[in-house]
């Protein structure tokens, strides 16, 4: 029997009768919940749009979830009021359908490759470390600069690789995220050098 696509599972959850909360999402997706929530949180910062720091809350929550992955947790720990709080209508009706369309694009090219390695607990800790670093880089990037895009996209692709079980996607996410960090450091160094020459 062919395994159901993740985007179809997410759509069924979205249109199902269960309340749209973190608790119901975890009940459906179990061990993939960490990656799914980080994917959803980091999607907006990964878009090439100036957010003016409004996404910092998403990045902080992503870092907290990544720390839980590093610690080896298999179930989410979030404050009880967050766990049972319903997602807003704009998230349910606009943001999630938009994200699902992008996920379906990735699913066209992705397939399970070395999935067993991605399920390994030590590898998941490594993934958590990378997700933390990329989320932190996005958080520290200057507002309105657009420099948070690549580290955030790296986090999104790594999260998606864990969901889809595709090591090639994982490697691609690492390259994108590390490239984004290198860009932030490079531009930061260049700007600092210019200011030194001026003053």
Tens-digit pLDDT profile for residues 110-151: 887 777 787 788 899 999 999 999 999 999 887 666 778 899
Task: Say yes or no to pLDDT of 46 above 80.
Answer: yes
Q: Is residue 50 a contact partner of residue 7, using CB atoms and an 8 Å limit? A: no
pLDDT for res 199: 61
Q: How far is CA 45 from CA 9, 31, 166, 188, in A?
A: 24, 24, 23, 19
pLDDT for res 53: 63
Task: Say yes or no to pLDDT of 165 above 80.
Answer: yes
């Amino acid at each position: 029997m062919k395994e159901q696509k993740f985007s179809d599972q997410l759509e069924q959850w979205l249109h199902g009768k269960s309340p749209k909360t973190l608790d119901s999402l975890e009940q459906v997706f179990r061990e993939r919940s960490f990656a799914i929530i980080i994917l959803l949180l980091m999607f907006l910062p990964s878009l090439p749009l100036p957010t003016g720091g409004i996404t910092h809350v998403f990045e902080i929550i992503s870092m907290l979830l990544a720390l839980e992955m590093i610690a080896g947790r298999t179930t989410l720990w979030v404050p009880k009021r967050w766990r049972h709080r319903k997602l807003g209508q704009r998230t349910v009706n606009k943001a999630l359908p938009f994200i699902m369309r992008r996920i379906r694009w990735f699913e066209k090219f992705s397939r399970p490759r070395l999935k067993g390695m991605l399920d390994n607990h030590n590898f998941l800790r490594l993934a958590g470390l990378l997700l933390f670093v990329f989320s932190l880089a996005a958080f520290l990037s200057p507002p309105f600069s657009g420099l948070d895009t690549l580290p955030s996209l790296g986090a999104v692709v790594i999260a998606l690789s864990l969901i889809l079980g595709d090591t090639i996607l994982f490697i691609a996410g690492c390259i994108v995220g590390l490239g984004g960090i290198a860009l932030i450091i490079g531009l930061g160094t260049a700007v600092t050098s210019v200011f030194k020459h001026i003053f």
